[in-house]
Structure 1
Amino acid sequence: MNRTKFDKPKFSIELLHPRHWWIWIGFGLLALIVNILPSSILLKLGRSIGTLGICSENERIKIAKRNLELTFPDMSEKKVKQLVIENFKNTGIALIEIGIAWFWPTWRFKRILLTKDITKLEMLEAENKGVLLCCVHALNLEITARAFSTLGLAGYGIYRPHKNPVYEFIQYYGRTRNGNKLIYRTNLKKMIRVLRNGKRLFYLPDQDYGHNKSVFVPFFAVKEACTTIGPSILAYASKCAIVLGSGFRNTDGKYEIIANKSIEANYPQKDEIAAAAYMNKYIEEIILRAPEQWMWLHKRYKSLPDKSRTNSRYQ
C-alpha cells in the first residue's frame, strides 16, 4: 500500500471466503442486536460485557491502574479501583457504541444526541474557515465522530486501515456514515490541503505516539509525557482555527456534543514544546468532563526521553 494514500475498499467475491465468515457473523450479530434492542438495554448489556472483561484482562487492569496513579497521584487507592472498574464497564459499552455508530439509521441516531454548544464550529463553517477539531480517545469516539457529521459538520478523520479486508470494508463504511471522510495517517499534505480548503480535520493529540515528531511536556501530574507536535505542524502550515470537541455520554444515556472553544489566538504554533504543553492543558479539561470514559487501558506514559527506558513506568 502507498503509505500516503489508500483506496476506498470495494466489495469483491473474495470477501465471502469461508475464512472471513466469522467476521461477517460477528458484525451481523452486532448490527442485529443494536437495532432490535432499546437503548437502555444496550447500555446495560455493554456494562455487563465490561464487567466480564474485568475477570479476564488482568494486564489491562494493571495498565489502567498505573495510568491513574501517575495521572492523579493524590487519588486514593479506593477511588482508583472504582474508576478502573467503571472504565472497564465503559469499555464494554464501547463495543455496543461501535454498533450504534456504524449500523443505526440516522433518524434513530439523532435521538441520542444532545447538542450542548457547537456554535463555534457553525460560525467557522459559515466563514469557510478550516478547523483542526481536537478531540480525545474517548471510549465512545465512534459516536462522537458520527455525531458531528449527523449535525451537518462532517470532517476528515485520520485513519489506519485494518489488515483484515472484511473488517476494513465494514469499518470504512461505518466511519463514513453521514458524510465523514478518511485520510491515511501519514498523508500530511492532504491534511494541510483539507484545512486550507476550509474543511474540518478530526485530530486526537492525547496519546503517546512514540518519539517521532513528539516532545516531552507535562500532562496532568506527569512532568515528561510524550506528546505529539502534530497540531502545531498543521496549524502553522494551514493557518486554521483550532477547536476543542467532545461527545461524552451523560447519566441519561445521551451524548453531549460540545465544540465551543477556539484556542488558536494564543496558540504558540511556532514553538513546538510550548504548543504541546498548551494543548495538553486543554486536553486535560476535556478528559475531566468524564474521566471514566477515557481510554485508560492503553499505556499513555510508555515513552520516556531516554529511549532505552521505554515502558519503565509500567514495570
Structure 2
Amino acid sequence: MNVERHHEASKFQWSFLLPKYWGIWIAILVLMIFAILPWAIQWRLAEGLSKLGWKYLKSRRKTTIRNLELCFPEKSELEIQEDAKQVFFNMMLGVFEALNAWYCPSWFKKRIHIHGLEHLQQAQGKGVLLLSSHTTLLDAGGYVSSCFFDFDVVYRPQNNPLLDMLIRRCRATIYKNQISKDDMKGLIHSLKNGHAIWYSPDQDFGLKQGVMAPFFGVQAATLTAHRRLMKITKASAIPLFFYREGDIRDPQYHILLEPPLDHFPGLDEVEDATRVNLILENQIRTQPTQYMWFHRRFKTRLKGQEKLY
C-alpha cells in the first residue's frame, strides 16, 4: 500500500547523522530561521537571492527566457527579460512561502480567498482530480487550499533520502496523503475512495506517458495518464489554480476552483490533452511570472522537428 511506503520513507534513519548529510542539516537549520523572519525581510532576501540566481543559474536563466520567448512571441526582448527576472524572484519568494506554510502557517490568516468551492462540494463522495499547474507558490498553494478542503498530492520522490524524509514530514501537515507519481495503484485507491487529488499534468515526461499537444501554441509532450485514471475510477476533473496578488505590504492568496469538465475524458487523447493544456494556459495567464518557466517544457521533439533548447 502507498500509506505503508510513505510511512517507511518518513522514518528517521541513524545513517542520516553521517557527515555526508551534515550540509543538508545545516541548510535546514538556516531555512527554519528564515521561516520565522518578518515577511518584509523574507521579501528583501528573495530579491537578493533572485539576483544571485539570475547571475549564477545560467541554465535555468536560459531555459526561462527561451520558454517565455516561445510562449509570448508578442513581447519584446526587454519585456521577456523583465518577466524572466520576475520568475526568478517568484521562485525565491516561493521558497519562503513554502517555509511559512510548513513552519508558520498562521501567517496566512486573513490573506486567503477562495472562489468556486461549491464545485468541489457538489462532488462529495466522488473521486476528483484537481487539474493544476506547477507554480512558484509550491506548498504555499497547497496549504492555503487545505484550509478549505482535504486532498492528496502527487509528488516525485527526492533522490536524497534525508531530503525526501524531511519534505514528506513537512508536507504531512498539509496533505491528507502523498502519492508517488508512479504509484498508479495508490492513485486509483484514493480516487475510488472519494478523495480529491492535486494532479499537475504540465511537465514533459516524453511520449511514453503522453502525446504531443499545443501549449501556448507550441507542440509539447503532454501527460495522458489522468484519462486512464478517470475511466477506471469514474472520477471527475476540476481545474484548480492558486496565485498571489499584492506586494510586500499586503500579499493576498487566491484559490480558484472551476466547474467540472463535461464529457471528459473523451474519445480522442490528443483532443483531451489539448483541452487540458488550454485550461492550464488560461490559468497561467492570470499571473504568468508565477509559473515555473525554468523547466524545459518543450524538450521532447518529434523526428525532424528543430530542438528548442
TM-score, length basis structure 1: 0.89
| Residues 180 and 109 of structure 1: CA distance in aligned 2, closer, same or farther (over 3 Å) | farther
Residue 86 of structure 2 corresponds to 86
Q: Secondary structure at the match of 2:258?
A: strand
My pick for the range that moved more, 186-195 or 154-163, is 154-163
Match of 1:236 among 222, 231, 234: 231
Rounded to whole Å, the distance in 1 between the matches of 2:52 and 2:299 is: 26
Rounded to whole Å, the distance in 2 between the matches of 1:165 and 1:136 is: 26
Residue 21 of structure 1 corresponds to 22
Moved over 6 A (4+): none
1:102 aligns with 2:97: no
Residue 296 of structure 1 corresponds to 293
Residue 313 of structure 1 corresponds to 308
In structure 2, the gaps of 5 or more residues are none
Deviations 1:68-125 (A, max 9, x none): 1111222221211111111111111122123122222x4334344233342212332x
- The count of corresponding residues between Structure 1 and Structure 2 is 303
Q: Secondary structure at the match of 1:312?
A: coil
State the Cα distance separating 1:59 from its structure 2 match: 2.0
One-letter amino acid of the structure 1 residue matched with residue 193 of structure 2 = N
1:144 aligns with 2:141: yes
The sequence identity of aligned pairs, in percent, is 29
CA RMSD of aligned residues (A): 2.1
My pick for the range that moved more, 111-120 or 230-239, is 111-120
| Contact 2:209-2:225 within 8 A present in 1 as well | yes
| Residues 178 and 303 of structure 1: CA distance in aligned 2, closer, same or farther (over 3 Å) | closer
Deviations 1:159-204 (A, max 9, x none): 2222222211210011111443111221112212211211011110
One-letter amino acid of the structure 1 residue matched with residue 96 of structure 2 = I
Residue 52 of structure 1 corresponds to 52
1:250 aligns with 2:248: no
Residue 171 of structure 2 corresponds to 175
In structure 1, the gaps of 5 or more residues are none
1:76 aligns with 2:76: yes
| Residues 40 and 19 of structure 1: CA distance in aligned 2, closer, same or farther (over 3 Å) | same
| Residues 177 and 111 of structure 1: CA distance in aligned 2, closer, same or farther (over 3 Å) | farther
